[in-house]
Amino acid sequence: MPLQPERVARLRADYEALDQVALGEKVLGFNSHFDQRGGVSTPLVQDVQDISLRDQLVGRGLGRSDATHIAQAVANHCDVFLTRDERSIIKHREWLERELPLKIRMPSELIAELKASCASACTLPRSNAQ
């Protein structure tokens, strides 16, 4: 079923309203080569802001890719890290949440928490109209 234009517009507006992740790659320097005919300069980047944190996470049993994603979430001051990876990240959730300023949730868990939070804090007053 193709997406309806109105729905696409709402999704795009929601996406554009989100805070962007500020710290993507870390520039380490530039690799430059020049000769008499010209030259080229290429940035040297790494995908993680905090390599020591990533390496600690790998040392505790996370895969390198998972550790990189979590280290990036911490560096960007994310509140929640969403994952469906039950075999790796969710399995390590207890110590990750204890040691990092980050909640680890599956999408279904976050939705349930948001619904529960809204149910208790966002209740609308009942109408007196009959």
Predicted confidence at residue 42, as pLDDT, reads 83
- The model's pLDDT over 22-49, given as tens digits with 9 standing for 90+, comes to 766 677 778 888 888 888 888 776 777 7
From the list 17, 15, 20, the residue with the least C-alpha distance to 77 is: 20
pTM: 0.64
Q: Is residue 109 over pLDDT 80?
A: yes
Domain boundaries in the chain? 24-31+41-118
Predicted confidence at residue 130, as pLDDT, reads 45
Q: What percent of the chain has pLDDT over 70?
A: 82
Q: Is residue 55 over pLDDT 80?
A: yes
